[in-house]
Chains A and B, each alone.
Chain A
Amino acid sequence: MLPEYQEVVRKPNVMKNRNPLQQSKAKVVPLADRIADLQNYKQWQKLIAEYKRQGIILDPKLRPLIKMIKLKFIFIDEDIQRALDAKHCTKIAGIESFDPRYLQVIYCTKVPGKEEYHANDAQHTATLVAALIDAGVFLNESDWREVEMPVLYIETTNKAFARKAFALINGKGKKKISLWYEHRTKVLSVRIDKSTDPDDEEAERKQTICEKYHCYPVDTESVFTGLPGTFTHMQALNMDDDILEMACKFHNDYFHYDEINGALWFMMDDLYKAFSAAHIKITDKFLAELAGILQGYFAGIAQFHESVKGAHLRWGIYTYGYKVSWQDDAIAALLVLMYQKLGGTQQIPQPLLDRFAKILDFVDDDIKDLFVEKELELA
């Protein structure tokens, strides 16, 4: 018999008022606030104490300088920089997306005593600007050689230094922007700046769907991770609106007291697509029955996810004789197989049942014991 879902008392979701993406007004803080944050960080304090202990004093002249430089003085070291990616340049200059205000400063090392600037980064920027000028795209400019661009530079003849600087600018040692921050930029561009960029609008639309069901994407490093309704699996926002809505609603209806486990997205995506292809409607009754299994047998989706991974591992070894890579479609498959085993009557699309047909034999013994108990009850 299918375990019946039991209501869990709904408590106010604290994320409703703490959601960092709900703001509709820009918030500006002075740099001094950020400095204070850093100075309060213990590891920073330790580091500065070590600077002082070692008597380290840095020369301010070593900081990079910035200057407007004619493009004819820019050179590229082919042994340091990557080859020009003409496709990348063409993409950046795309009519729909190119805006000269997005152009970046060119990072260079200057040969001491010469007007010679070797680009460590932004060769694509320099090249495409020069080529656009050459093509007559910029007003009143025709000779790219004489056009000035801002250059950030340090003076050195040390090529190894330039090599390291190039690696630094291109990722090594640089804090990458997380997927959540990319999403945040798009959402706030709409909510604060009223952007009409289709990418921004799509992100905001997905965010609104999530919020409607008290679901909140958060950064993996956020203090909010683990709170009910939060999730860090940003790929969820790539799902179709209908599937995202079904998944968020399911979470809010049945597991509002938990953070969202990544298995939810895979499970709902696979169910939706398999049922749609087979022209079978996913009913509220069916979803409630699935929630009953997840709650009754696994205390929620997180432990179900863990159990599926264990079962999949053992199933793979049994079926193929070695450890096979994790397949996330096992999540929905195992759930519907359990559903049938427990006497569920909803018609299930056959491909969902065929893919991992024997996997139920490999679930944890505790769970199998529950089946046996239920079968005995039925007998």
Chain B
Amino acid sequence: MKFYILPGPFRLGFGITGDHERREKDYTGAWGGIAEFRYLFEGPTPHVKRLENIIKTQNRDMLWKVDEWETEWLDNNWTSEDLLEFVKTIISERHLPIKQIR
């Protein structure tokens, strides 16, 4: 399972996928421009899912909300590097067997 960080046209995105190439194409098709994951991590499914969940929980107030819908886009000018740093800290602090592959 992979975790990705995606600089979007409006906000910074993140998510998990089993097939990152397919997912990049989905984004490209949806927003009409080439989408490329800036950073990519890989690890066992439970750990990658947990990583995503931690990001959502700890930054709940910064997730872009459309009415009541909590999206996987970060508001408040998060940069790819900000999230990269956050992810690396979580991986290190919690000893998650997740490796950066891009």
Contact = CB atoms under 8 A, between A and B. Distances in A.
A303 B48 CA distance: 10
Contact of B46 (A8, A9, A226, A367): A367
A366 B57 contact: no
B93 A8 contact: yes
A226 B60 contact: yes
B94 A364 contact: no
Nearest to B61: A223
A373 B53 CA distance: 27
Contacts of A366: 1, 44-46
A6 interface: yes
The size class of the interface chain B forms with chain A is 10 to 19
A304 B60 contact: no
Interface in B3-51: 44-47, 49-51
Contacts of A296: 97
Contact of A226 (B44, B51, B57, B95): B57
Interface band, chain A: 20 to 34
A232 interface: no
B50 A259 contact: no
Contact of A304 (B46, B51, B94, B96): B46
Contact of B57 (A6, A259, A297, A306): A259
B63 to A, nearest CB: 12
Interface of A: 6, 8-9, 226, 257, 259, 295-300, 302-304, 306-307, 364, 366-367, 370
Given A8-B93, A8-B94, A306-B49, 17 more contacts: A226-B58, A259-B57, A295-B95, A297-B46, A299-B46, A299-B47, A299-B49, A299-B51, A300-B50, A302-B50, A303-B49, A307-B46, A364-B46, A366-B1, A367-B44, A367-B46, A370-B44
Interface of B: 1, 44-47, 49-51, 53, 57-58, 60, 93-97
26 contacts: A8-B93, A9-B93, A226-B58, A226-B60, A257-B93, A259-B57, A295-B94, A297-B44, A298-B46, A298-B47, A299-B46, A299-B49, A299-B50, A299-B51, A299-B94, A299-B96, A300-B50, A302-B50, A302-B53, A303-B53, A307-B46, A366-B1, A366-B45, A367-B44, A367-B46, A370-B44
